[in-house]
Structure 1
């Protein structure tokens, strides 16, 4: 039995229902994020004081997420999951409204504010995967986490479709319609998250003494969980951010880049239909290691050439590696804390994840500009090597103790 299972009342039936609702919420939040990622840089080109600042809205989004992860976790501990999710979606709704106004008035600072608020929404929405595990038994936990992540499949399809249908909806103001659609999506999310059924009293149960964070972090399995989730997300973002720009530089069209990104998003989330079952069968550590190896293979594909096929294989393997590494790390993390320690451990984990993603998003363009597409892929190898070495060390140590 893990430390997460002390004196906790499990209810897999309610966990299954919550996972379904949280997956819908994930689809809505993800659709808003796809719209933002697809259009923010293009809007920045139009309204930023310089094209050099065009990608700043995306960086602001990630930084907004990173800075909000710990406050979001602590607030959910105080008020509960359902109000927390609804509050986050409200922030997203306000951010989308600000985005519409910013586009109409061509105010770059206001648009930055809009993306920061969307980042706050993401900080709350990212807790969906943890919330799904709150009431699930240990054997059922990997499955519900995986089920929630399947919402990303719908997000990839719905978000890109909405961009195509709403870009000129409020012409002549290009992209204002996209953010008007985002207002509707976020408002719907407020209503959907109102059906989450996780009693607050069960989230705040104090099972034994609350350990200091320094003691919790001494668990090798927790370090593996955090490193797998953090580095999988960071490396994925590093390459994904640079890939469309690299494709355009290599003579491909925007439509070519959009097709590759769409398949990348599907590769990120389609495996979620069975990732949980794989984790339950072979263990989270092996799934994390497999994901990291896939990320290394993605980098190799990126270095072998600059054909359309190279870019496609690179991004698809990147998505698969992210899925195994991130979901595997998340599942492993849920076994490493007591119920009363959830908020601070989950908050610290997501701060590490999105802090790393922020650094990756800022670094990606610099590597591409200064050293080229190959350098972006080469940067993955030492990170994969360190992460795999840690997983191997923890596995051998556990066997020695056993």
Structure 2
């Protein structure tokens, strides 16, 4: 089924919004790296049970998954700008609560803060969809990729803030880093106030075109393929990335080598965004997403071929580039499968399924690595990629329609 209606494009507003969202992504996207970098270390000091030390990081993923549907509801009824300002407020509160948990030596309060950080991330993750409002075709695909460039900046800002602020509050290591997390959310607030969006009551299709129920949309092969592509791209990336540092250290490599591998992986995740939009315009979003899945499969093949540090690093770089192509391609596919009136519920359902899978991957990767080993992690990647790659290649082989 082809897209039945698209709002008239407004290039001026679209260009302004895409840059606003790119800057907001740079601030808001640093939220997760701060929690991921420090959650386990703080958990090690505060957790009453050694088995719970990674719980704060897992709660970030859980909060992200649980927050997607409420975020979609808020934006559907009150508009994107109101929703994003609420999200930034949640981000400020989450950082301050996490810092308070450290100051009070309360593991429970700290976990509450990281879970709320996940709710903030559920708003941040939808910036990529907001960039497609008031755009069509090629401009829509370029806008998605441009906003993802903000993620590259966030990947640099987050770890650097951890280094600069971890001892900012005397006697409470790492509390300062979570205060800086709240400051970043506060900086995003005035930026997002510059966003120009339509009133939620004005977002509707032309006369005679009814808004489809979500269940009907969910049965659309086009939308299902877009969801599956996003689930596999993001889910497998999280699954492998979570296990990689532990596997590297377990195979005799140093913690510094493991950290450097993750740093290159994160750069590989976002750096291609400078060209991903152009590639989608030239070759089609399905083709770019298919190449992304092939790269994810290739990363597993490299990881299975040996345990030298080069095997781990090359696999992580391929995994990062594959995620970029696969996830941005999937985002463009979702954005092209609904009308403006349907966008909030369709995008919210997509993110709930994608980030619900990410949460499950985050919880399961460590235990599966411990019980079955690094090879099993990577063998699981190959059939999962093949399952989605086959219908994606079939669709990509059809003529490009934008």
Query: d(CA) in 2 for partners of 1:249 and 1:168?
Result: 30
| TM superposition shift of 1:4 | 5.8
Hey, what does 2:267 align to over in structure 1?
Answer: 266
Contact 2:286 2:393 in 1 (8 A): no
Hey, what does 1:323 align to over in structure 2?
Answer: 324
Hey, what does 1:197 align to over in structure 2?
Answer: 196
C-alpha deviations, 1:57-76, integer Å up to 9, x for none?
11111111111101101110
Query: d(CA) in 2 for partners of 1:202 and 1:79?
Result: 9
Matches for 1:99-110 after TM superposition, within 5 Å: 99-110=98-109
If the length of structure 2 is used for normalisation, what is the TM-score?
A: 0.95
Query: d(CA) in 2 for partners of 1:379 and 1:388?
Result: 15
Which secondary structure does the structure 1 equivalent of 2:228 belong to?
helix
Query: d(CA) in 1 for partners of 2:164 and 2:305?
Result: 36
Is it true that 1:246 corresponds to 2:240 in the alignment? no
Matches for 1:2-401 after TM superposition, within 5 Å: 2-3=2-3, 5-6=5-6, 8-201=7-200, 204-207=203-206, 208-395=209-396
Contact 1:205 1:340 in 2 (8 A): yes
Residues 4 and 142 of structure 1, relative CA distance in 2, 3 Å threshold: farther
Which secondary structure does the structure 2 equivalent of 1:210 belong to?
coil
C-alpha deviations, 1:168-227, integer Å up to 9, x for none?
222321111111111111111112111111122586224420112232223222112111
| TM superposition shift of 1:252 | 2.5
C-alpha deviations, 1:136-165, integer Å up to 9, x for none?
122210000000000011111111111111
Contact 1:92 1:121 in 2 (8 A): yes
* Of 215-224 and 369-378, the range deviating more from structure 2: 215-224
Contact 2:76 2:200 in 1 (8 A): no
Contact 2:39 2:54 in 1 (8 A): yes
Structure 1 unpaired stretches of 5+: none
| TM superposition shift of 1:251 | 2.8
Query: d(CA) in 1 for partners of 2:255 and 2:18?
Result: 36
Contact 2:4 2:339 in 1 (8 A): yes
Contact 1:89 1:121 in 2 (8 A): yes
Contact 1:203 1:339 in 2 (8 A): no
Superposition RMSD in Å: 1.6
How many residue pairs were aligned?
397
Query: d(CA) in 2 for partners of 1:58 and 1:203?
Result: 39
Contact 1:4 1:335 in 2 (8 A): no
Which secondary structure does the structure 2 equivalent of 1:135 belong to?
coil
Query: d(CA) in 1 for partners of 2:357 and 2:200?
Result: 33
